[in-house]
A and B are shown apart, each in its own frame.
Chain A
Amino acid sequence: DTGVSQDPRHKITKRGQNVTFRCDPISEHNRLYWYRQTLGQGPEFLTYFQNEAQLEKSRLLSDRFSAERPKGSFSTLEIQRTEQGDSAMYLCASSLGGVGYTFGSGTRLTVV
């Protein structure tokens, strides 16, 4: 499968715990994006990388959230001290320049 891969697909965690998600983009894509989608809403932009550089961050990305893309390959999104409001689908996308993204199937986070 040469699409965007996200792991895990589902994560249930207790409030206050830390969680980390992984995204493997399409191999030749140099841009990687993270979005968050809550039930009944469209995806909301969180951040994006060009190679290993994080070029833009949304104000939605509070200090509890951190994203990395070491070596410009896979990316991780960590949420510290999770809150119930963090429950959402976290989507990763990649592109070879420009906005014609390919999205992964997402990681669904439930904070209980």
Chain B
Amino acid sequence: NAGVTQTPKFQVLKTGQSMTLQCAQDMNHEYMSWYRQDPGMGLRLIHYSVGAGITDQGEVPNGYNVSRSTTEDFPLRLLSAAPSQTSVYFCASSYDHVETQYFGPGTRLLVL
């Protein structure tokens, strides 16, 4: 049981490049979320999903796209990276209520 896995661990992008941050969980959780963590800001919700085929926006969705074609995977796409998207990104999943969220180890993204 690997829990929540995220790839890559670290990525450097140039402004305007696109990339996909991968997130997978093997716990058969319905709920999955993406957060970003910035200094002095705590964690902020980007997008979340309550099941396959269903996604919704969080607090800071601009510049990010998500899709949920399977229960296991919830990729986060940056279509045109900007320096403001330099951050640490965490994926989380839970079976039912939000308090049981399990977080992945994070992806550190640097946009130059």
Are the chains A and B members of one assembly? Answer: no
What is A's interface to B at a CB cutoff of 8 Å? none
